[in-house]
Amino acid sequence: MELQLNKDLQMDIDSCCSSSNERKSHHTDATKKNLVTRLNRIEGQIRGIKGLIEKDTYCDDVITQISAAQSALNGVAKMLLENHLKECVVDRINEGDLEVLDEVIVTIQKLMKK
């Protein structure tokens, strides 16, 4: 029952997001720059991990680097979620759109799976 409810909710969200009124975030330039900088650093970490594997680096050392990259990605997700809650979600609630709460719940569930 819960699985079907989640699928129905995701379909509602997907259809909502794919409408002609596609929503966009409203990050400041400073926030965008911070996010892009973090993602560029993570991209470098991933390339480094690939290099470690190509060099047959000891598995434990590679796993440590993978863990660091995952933590960095989690940091980006937390930053995005915080901004999303403070800006997008608040705006939509103020507009009377309470469906955004279901969307946030699904998003948090996705983040907690990891």
Enter the pTM of the model: 0.73
Task: Compute, in degrees rounded to 10, the torsion defined by CA atoms 12, 76, 44, 33.
Answer: 100
Assign a CATH topology to domain 29-112.
Methane Monooxygenase Hydroxylase; Chain G, domain 1 (1.20.58)
Q: For 46-86, what is each residue's pLDDT tens digit?
A: 999 999 999 999 999 999 999 999 999 999 999 999 999 99
Mean pLDDT of 85-102: 94
Number of residues that this document lists for the chain: 114
Segments in 1-114 forming alpha helices (H): 2-17, 29-54, 59-83, 90-94, 99-112
Going by the DSSP 8-state scheme, the letter that residue 57 receives in this structure is: -
59 against 10, higher pLDDT? 59
Domain ranges in the chain are 29-112
The residue to which tokens 């999303």 are assigned: 84
Q: What is the pLDDT of residue 114?
A: 61
